[in-house]
Structure 1
Amino acid sequence: MLLRYFYNEKLAHASYLVGCQKTGEAIIVDPARDLEPYFEVAKKEGMQIKAAVETHIHADYVSGARELGEVHQAKLYLSGEGGEEWGYQYVERIEHELLFNGDQFNIGYLIFEVMHTPGHTPESISLLLTDRGGNADLPMGIFSGDFVFVGDIGRPDLLESALGQEGSTLANAKAMFNSLATFKQLPDYLQVWPAHGAGSACGKALGAVPSSTVGYEKAFNWALSITDEDAFCKELLADQPEPPTYFKVMKEVNRKGPALLKDLKKPQEIKSAQKMIELLNQNLQIIDTRQSSEFQKKHIEHTINIPYYKSFPNWAGWLVDYERPLYLICDTSELENILHALNSVGIDQIAGYMDSQVVHSSDLFVLESYEDVTPSDIRVKVEKGEVHVLDVRQVSELKEGFIPHSQLIMLGTLAERLDELPTDKPILTQCRTGIRSNIAASILQANGIKNVLNLNGGIVHWQKEGLSTLKNKQNA
């Protein structure tokens, strides 16, 4: 048997290529939209990708299942659980099989057994893998999707918090409790292969190692240690991070079927500053992907900075309007990677791009800047109330401490809540380390709030300098 692990750090997404070496057939478990890495490995290993299987309809990235089925003629194995509302709507013309609890299917001599494990979503399934090619008659591991992670489990609230299905959270939490009871009956030696790692918003405390075992999770996963259903539900629902707004979009995209990559229009290069100014005058959305240290010093008026770094697709999904064309200011050597990252969360309407060097080479633009300040620079003004501190972290992060008299507006919701900010004093943007707060500063300036400062190093730097913070309550 061949097992290969693929991990997208920007999405904290894990997927797998599983192959039968006796027959040369392979299947992808929870495929990403970018299929090239799987085909490269399959070719190198002498495998043919014959199928793909999904553990559920994903909400945090665009699945590659439709692309595999329609373009590459792979057979799709998809959950039939959860009722018609959770059915896939694009599979009529694709060879596929709907899976239910207890079903089995094979890829060569590999046997996949289906467990219905609702809780994260109603249709969620997990897959026990047995390698009959090696004469094994017992499973060696379980592909757990968003059911059981390393050190955590899938959140049950997305249907309500992201999709608006009132009352579904508690029902899903109870379903998760029952699914875990089934998981606990599995033998300790089984390997656990989840669909996400640390940084995913599909749970609240995912571990950073790629895999685990059933026995290890029984011993150390907080969720498997609680035996009372009410206590379990209360703990599961506490401190869940704010669900990204794009999760609702992704769920619909993956249910109805994403656009095929070959059908996406390539963005046009904008070479003239005058053309970019015309676009700016049309109030179009323009994202500058340079690092914040560059953007701070000089950027075009009305542009928003989402630096191309680890969390780029997550914040793009939060902040980009999916219904409107998007324009980019970027280092053109990074353009293909940036497009891949945007496409991975379904941002497909990318109309044009301009090389970031044009920002420096033309005197036609109205340019802006904002200042980075250290805690020692700004402490006295904060204490005197001469600046307004805007904290853009998650509510759950307040337990780490927060600056007295700060206002909490989570970054992903900031653009919709600008009218809650004062206009009579400078605004100091602040997060944990200074990355999100730079994005916040750009949102403020792009929307006409010009007198902005950014706290270098965030509250971590503030606390290292021994400055006072409050804990366990919100002073806002």
Structure 2
Amino acid sequence: MSFTDEYLIPLVDAGLGNSAYLVDLGDGRALAVDASRDLRALRDAAARRGLTVAFAADTHLHADFLTGALQLAADEGALVLASAAGRRAFPHTALADGDEVDLGGLRLRALATPGHTDEHLSFLLLDGTRELGVFTGGSLIVGSAARTDLQGADRAEELARAQYRSLRLLAELPDATAVWPTHGAGSFCSAPPGAERTTTIGAQKAANDLLAAPDEDAFVARLLGSLGSYPAYFDRLAETNRQGPALLTAAPGLKPLTPAAARTLLASGARLVDARPVPDFAAGHIPGAISNPLRPAFATWLGWLLPDDTPLVFVLGPGQDEQELAWQAAKIGYDRLAGQLAGGMTAWLADGGPADTTNLVTAEQIGDRPVLDVRQTSEFAGGHIPGAAHAELGTLPADLPATADGTVVMCGHGERAMTAASLLAHSGARNLAVLAGGAADWADVTGRALEEGV
């Protein structure tokens, strides 16, 4: 059995597309790498093995989630390991290139691998002189390298050139060295689609298009050409991680709110988020509510579309997990949760509250209505309904079409489209509908080909 199979426990956050890692050090202690503020899975894994987290390493100042390292330090006495160049404002062991930490038999060596961020470190795990694996964070990832524009578009090329050098450095490790990235498929830090979340140096040398680039300029062109948009909250979270996230003294949750209390909060500026499934929202929702169905991607769209400094009121449906919602919000720094409407829409309607509906339509029912496709640009370019307008969900309502009235909004399955429709309705658009399905359903029903490109 390999070290990876026996002692390394990957903890995948499918919603954010990331992996944290728990390493069993063999003596009742563990190393955590790139742990999120949502420590539930990590703590469950540690408890199953009877482990105490003694070390918490962060490869970089994360933009897509709050670090859990500070919480592990407070709760379990973990030693926080991070880059000296990150200038973190809380106690930690500051590491520079080549520094090593004795884990009690195994050693962790810091490798300066800037590119995704200025202060990025990879951590090489050593057993004597043998390279067991390397935690690459946002440098070398499966099939690519993480984006380099998070410090601003004006620095994207400079950091892409740094990323080139970092990947060349990592490629010098033995081919058998395991690669344990943080960012993976589904991450807006720019990972290609695919099921694999770990790899080896040799596999990446054989298959990673960036490592195959003939020179630095070609590498930079390929990397920058692959970058799409990213959630708005990325621009503020790295600094929160540098300062140190607020410690949690209890599990986050949602207090119950009466309809009267909810109305008072909304009248004073709170925002309303409806986390129910698309069909339930379509059948009846509170006017002005933003649809964001509770699912793995909930946190991404919460952070992209709603402010973090405004109280949030939530509507959930029967059986939905309010603690899951609260944890998803907490891991990206959304702590101003005013509560949830007790009794949901049933209580709201019983109290005389108004409700709006949104039509769900099938591909056959679109007819000659205008279509707005709110998928990411790369998805739209891969195949869309001919004549459809395009605006990424993350750009709405600022990117509102000249007239959205009567539009059929679509995405891949319906969740993002309903979110978009709710944003457009909040901005005054009327007579909107949402396609139940996606472009492939339209092609199947009509027998017509999708259009490619933008």
- Indicate whether the TM-score tops 0.5: yes
Distance, in Å, in 1 between the alignment partners of 2:177 and 2:110 is 15
User: Aligned AA for 1:404?
Assistant: P
The structure-2 alpha-carbon separation of the partners of 1:259 and 1:359, relative to structure 1 and needing over 3 Å to count, comes to: same
Distance, in Å, in 1 between the alignment partners of 2:413 and 2:275 is 19
What displacement does 1:47 show?
A: 2.5
1:189 alignment counterpart: 176
- Would the aligned equivalents of 2:184 and 2:192 in 1 still touch at CA under 8 Å? no
The structure-2 alpha-carbon separation of the partners of 1:401 and 1:258, relative to structure 1 and needing over 3 Å to count, comes to: same
TM-score by length of 2: 0.93
> Which residues of 2 match residues 37-436 of structure 1 at below 5 A?
37-81=41-85, 86-89=86-89, 91=90, 94=91, 96-132=92-128, 137-161=129-153, 167-262=154-249, 267-271=254-258, 273-331=259-317, 333=319, 334-354=321-341, 355-358=343-346, 361-362=349-350, 364-379=352-367, 381=368, 387-418=369-400, 420-422=401-403, 425-436=405-416
The structure-2 alpha-carbon separation of the partners of 1:340 and 1:65, relative to structure 1 and needing over 3 Å to count, comes to: same
Q: Give the secondary structure class of the aligned counterpart of 1:261.
A: coil
Distance, in Å, in 2 between the alignment partners of 1:467 and 1:313 is 36
What displacement does 1:219 show?
A: 0.3
- Would the aligned equivalents of 2:141 and 2:191 in 1 still touch at CA under 8 Å? no
What displacement does 1:263 show?
A: 7.3
What displacement does 1:448 show?
A: 2.4
Deviations 1:373-425, CA, capped at 9 Å, x for gaps: 1222113x1xxxxx33222122222321233333222101202233x4315x4
What displacement does 1:363 show?
A: 5.3
User: Aligned AA for 2:387?
Assistant: H
What displacement does 1:100 show?
A: 0.9
- Would the aligned equivalents of 1:264 and 1:348 in 2 still touch at CA under 8 Å? no
Deviations 1:210-244, CA, capped at 9 Å, x for gaps: 31111011101111111211111111111312111
CA RMSD of aligned residues (A): 2.0
User: Aligned AA for 1:30?
Assistant: D
- Would the aligned equivalents of 1:56 and 1:79 in 2 still touch at CA under 8 Å? yes
Is 1:458–2:438 an aligned residue pair? Answer: yes
- Would the aligned equivalents of 1:150 and 1:206 in 2 still touch at CA under 8 Å? no
User: Aligned AA for 1:113?
Assistant: R
- Would the aligned equivalents of 1:388 and 1:422 in 2 still touch at CA under 8 Å? no
Distance, in Å, in 1 between the alignment partners of 2:17 and 2:147 is 15
Distance, in Å, in 1 between the alignment partners of 2:351 and 2:440 is 38
User: Aligned AA for 2:122?
Assistant: S
Q: Give the secondary structure class of the aligned counterpart of 2:442.
A: helix
Distance, in Å, in 1 between the alignment partners of 2:130 and 2:79 is 25
- Would the aligned equivalents of 1:429 and 1:455 in 2 still touch at CA under 8 Å? yes
- Would the aligned equivalents of 2:292 and 2:415 in 1 still touch at CA under 8 Å? no
Q: Give the secondary structure class of the aligned counterpart of 1:324.
A: coil
Distance, in Å, in 2 between the alignment partners of 1:432 and 1:299 is 22
Deviations 1:114-163, CA, capped at 9 Å, x for gaps: 1111111111111111234xxxx3111111111111112111112115xx
Deviations 1:448-473, CA, capped at 9 Å, x for gaps: 2221011221212122232354322x
TM-score by length of 1: 0.89
Deviations 1:181-234, CA, capped at 9 Å, x for gaps: 112211101111111221011114153223111101110111111121111111
Report sequence identity in percent: 33
Distance, in Å, in 2 between the alignment partners of 1:422 and 1:38 is 48
257-266 or 194-203, which moves further after superposition?
257-266
Distance, in Å, in 2 between the alignment partners of 1:446 and 1:122 is 39
Q: Give the secondary structure class of the aligned counterpart of 1:158.
A: coil
Is 1:442–2:422 an aligned residue pair? Answer: yes
Distance, in Å, in 2 between the alignment partners of 1:275 and 1:49 is 42
User: Aligned AA for 2:51?
Assistant: M
Distance, in Å, in 2 between the alignment partners of 1:20 and 1:377 is 59
What displacement does 1:7 show?
A: 1.2
- Would the aligned equivalents of 2:315 and 2:340 in 1 still touch at CA under 8 Å? yes
- Would the aligned equivalents of 1:441 and 1:454 in 2 still touch at CA under 8 Å? yes
Distance, in Å, in 2 between the alignment partners of 1:239 and 1:233 is 10
Partner of residue 16 from structure 1, selected from 16, 21, 24: 21
Distance, in Å, in 2 between the alignment partners of 1:446 and 1:365 is 17
Distance, in Å, in 1 between the alignment partners of 2:242 and 2:251 is 19
Distance, in Å, in 1 between the alignment partners of 2:302 and 2:41 is 23
Distance, in Å, in 2 between the alignment partners of 1:306 and 1:460 is 23
How many residue pairs match? The answer is: 446
- Would the aligned equivalents of 1:392 and 1:411 in 2 still touch at CA under 8 Å? yes
2:448 alignment counterpart: 467
Distance, in Å, in 2 between the alignment partners of 1:221 and 1:265 is 40
446-455 or 31-40, which moves further after superposition?
31-40
Uncovered stretches (5+) of structure 1, i.e. residues with no partner: 162-166, 382-386
Deviations 1:55-89, CA, capped at 9 Å, x for gaps: 000001111011122343211111123xxxx3212
Uncovered stretches (5+) of structure 2, i.e. residues with no partner: none
